[in-house]
Every structure is written in structure tokens, then in C-alpha cells.
């Protein structure tokens, strides 16, 4: 555990410092995009037939990507050994963490929103959320970005870090594979309700502990929000998404959630927290809380490395 914690801390620091270089993404893409391409191909080829055939095909898809991700992680760990190969392992681990990229994406929304350029802010937020953004006002853009920041702190930072501590690089890569599958096919719609069932339920299990840990980190970093988290997390449609989002709402003293539209179809969502809807300045406050929450995660990982 101590060695894993040391490797994870190095990966967290390295990813925060350099992220995933744009030139590298342009040249070869990103491991998550590779997983996504494989899932999209299987979705096109396997998602057909009756209900039980679709469910079985979805289970096979999940088994395939989990097997590939876990096997790759095990192979890299075995080849790394105890020497300089550990540096390669740490470098690969950085690709499963999203501290830097998440901050950059949300900051790209905050800058134009603070400058009063709502049109540019809408375009920027459309890159990180699935809801319709063309008609959002300042508060709607702030809500969308803050919710994405809070939930992605769990999915993109805390969860892969947690599973690296538990199971090393294979755990991190499996976590990313499952979460990518859930984001692509884990929808309760006509096409994916059965095919994505296994991905959605497995992601719920994978995120169970990280979601609650991320909510705690957000509340601690924000100097409040624990009461709101305990009260409102269960109102969220997701069994896990409400924990970091409710904690962020409480830490900011603002209200998140509420109705949105997806592809023109209205969707009713519970409201999390109390107080007014966020404004542009609250997005900057949320980013500051996020930075402190990441630092708290580093401290925890460093403590594990030192104590064990």
C-alpha cells in the first residue's frame, strides 16, 4: 500500500503540473478516447435483438473492456518491476487522472462568464455537459459548470486515485473503463436501457466509496456543506452524483439542480442546497474549493504513504 501511495502521489503531482499535452492528444488521442472508440464500435455491432440479448451483449462488452484495461494495467505493472520502469507506470497513471484538464475546462467557462460574454461561456460549457446550453442564462451556465466540476472531481480524480490505492494501475484503468462505458451507454433510454444496464450498475458500485469521499473532501475544502450533503445527496437521480454536488452546493451556499433540457426534452431534477442560484463569481469560488480539495487528496495520499 505504501508503494502504491507513493506512486499515486507522484502521479497526482505530475498530472496537475503537466496534464495531458495537447500535441500528444492530437497525435495519438487519449487512452479514454481509445476505450470510447472500442465501446462505440461494440455499441454499433452488438446492440441489437431482444431485451435479454441486449443485456447479455452489454455484459460481454463490459467484460471485454474490463479485461483489456485490467490486463494492460497488470502487464505494465509487471514489466515496470522495481526499477526505472516505475516512472513509466506513474506516467501511465497520470492519463487516468483529470485534475488539470477538469480545472482548465471549467476555467474556460468561468473566464468569459465573468467578463459578461454569455455566448462564449455557453459554447465552453457545452463541451463538459450533456444538457442543452444554447438558452442558458448566467445562472444556468454557472449551475452546469459547477455541477460538472463537482461530479467530475469524483469520476476523474477521486475514483481513479482510490482504485489505484486499492488495486494499483489495473484498478485505475478498470475504473476509467467502467466509467467511460457508463457515460457512453449507461443511459435509461430505448437504445441503451438494456445494453448499458451492466455498465451503469457496475459504475454505481465502482463510484460508491469515491463519491462519498469526494463529497467529504469538497465540504472540508469549502469550510461547510456536510449538513447539506447528508440532507440532499439522496435526492439526486444518481446514487452517487448527489454527494459531491450537494457538498459543493452547501459549501457555496447556493442551490444546484433544477429542471434542464436534453435534446429539446425537458428533464425534472431535484434541487440541491439552499439559497439563490449561482452567479459567475460563484464559479470562481467553486474552482478555489476544487483546488483545495485536490490538495487535501494529496495530503491524504501522502499520509497513507508515510504511515503504511
Environment class of residue 299 by beta-carbon count within 10 Å: exposed (0-12), middle (13-18) or buried (19+)?
exposed
For residue 23, the model assigns a pLDDT of 83
- The whole-angstrom separation of Cα 260 and Cα 274 is 18
Residue 265 banded pLDDT, cuts 50, 70, 90: confident
Residue 1 confidence (pLDDT) above 80: no
For residue 219, the model assigns a pLDDT of 98
For residue 211, the model assigns a pLDDT of 98
For residue 209, the model assigns a pLDDT of 98
Residue 166 confidence (pLDDT) above 80: yes
- The whole-angstrom separation of Cα 204 and Cα 216 is 18
CB 218 within 8 A of CB 244: yes
Residue recorded with cell 443485456: 55
Residue 188 banded pLDDT, cuts 50, 70, 90: confident
CB 68 within 8 A of CB 170: no
- The whole-angstrom separation of Cα 266 and Cα 263 is 8
Instruction: Using DSSP, state whether 39 is helix, strand or coil.
Output: helix
- The whole-angstrom separation of Cα 19 and Cα 99 is 8
Residue 125 confidence (pLDDT) above 90: yes
| Model confidence pLDDT, tens digit, residues 198-232 | 999 999 999 999 999 999 999 999 999 999 999 99
Phi, psi of 53 (to 5 degrees): -65, -40
Residue 12 confidence (pLDDT) above 80: yes
- Alpha helical stretches, state H, 115-241: 118-126, 138-153, 159-185, 197-206, 208-222, 226-232
Residues 6+ apart with CB under 8 A from 208: 239, 240
For residue 21, the model assigns a pLDDT of 84
Residue 190 banded pLDDT, cuts 50, 70, 90: confident
For residue 280, the model assigns a pLDDT of 96
How do the domains of the chain map onto residue ranges? 2-307
Task: Give me the chain's average pLDDT, please.
Answer: 95
Nearest to 147 by CA among 218, 83, 200: 218
For residue 24, the model assigns a pLDDT of 84
- The whole-angstrom separation of Cα 285 and Cα 122 is 19
> The whole model's pTM is what?
0.95
Amino acid at each position: 500500500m505504501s508503494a502504491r501511495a507513493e506512486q499515486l502521489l507522484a502521479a497526482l503531482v505530475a498530472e496537475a503540473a503537466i496534464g495531458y499535452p495537447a500535441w500528444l492528444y492530437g497525435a495519438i488521442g487519449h487512452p479514454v478516447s481509445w476505450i470510447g472508440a472500442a465501446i462505440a464500435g461494440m455499441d454499433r455491432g452488438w446492440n441489437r435483438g431482444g431485451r435479454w440479448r441486449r443485456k447479455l451483449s452489454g455484459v460481454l462488452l463490459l467484460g471485454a473492456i474490463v479485461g483489456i484495461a485490467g490486463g494492460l494495467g497488470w502487464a505494465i505493472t509487471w514489466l515496470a518491476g522495481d526499477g526505472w520502469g516505475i516512472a513509466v507506470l506513474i506516467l501511465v497513471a497520470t492519463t487516468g487522472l483529470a485534475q488539470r484538464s477538469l480545472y482548465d475546462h471549467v476555467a474556460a467557462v468561468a473566464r468569459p462568464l465573468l467578463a459578461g460574454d454569455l455566448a462564449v461561456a455557453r459554447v465552453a460549457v457545452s463541451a463538459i455537459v450533456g444538457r442543452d446550453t444554447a438558452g442558458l442564462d448566467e445562472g444556468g451556465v454557472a449551475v452546469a459548470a459547477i455541477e460538472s466540476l463537482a461530479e467530475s472531481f469524483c469520476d476523474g480524480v477521486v475514483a481513479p486515485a482510490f482504485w489505484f490505492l486499492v488495486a494499483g494501475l489495473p484498478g485505475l484503468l478498470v475504473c476509467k473503463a467502467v466509467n467511460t462505458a457508463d457515460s457512453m451507454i449507461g443511459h435509461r433510454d430505448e437504445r441503451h436501457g438494456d445494453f448499458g444496464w451492466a455498465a451503469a450498475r457496475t459504475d454505481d458500485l465502482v463510484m460508491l466509496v469515491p463519491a462519498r469521499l469526494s463529497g467529504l473532501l469538497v465540504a472540508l475544502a469549502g469550510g461547510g456543506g456536510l449538513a447539506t450533503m447528508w440532507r440532499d445527496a439522496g435526492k439526486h437521480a444518481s446514487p452517487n452524483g448527489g454527494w459531491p454536488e450537494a457538498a459543493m452546493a452547501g459549501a457555496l451556499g447556493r442551490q444546484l439542480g433544477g429542471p434542464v433540457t436534453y435534446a429539446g426534452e425537458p428533464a425534472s431534477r431535484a434541487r440541491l442546497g439552499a439559497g439563490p442560484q449561482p452567479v459567475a463569481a460563484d464559479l470562481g469560488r467553486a474552482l478555489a474549493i476544487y483546488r483545495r480539495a485536490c490538495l487535501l487528496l494529496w495530503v491524504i495520499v501522502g499520509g497513507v504513504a508515510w504511515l503504511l
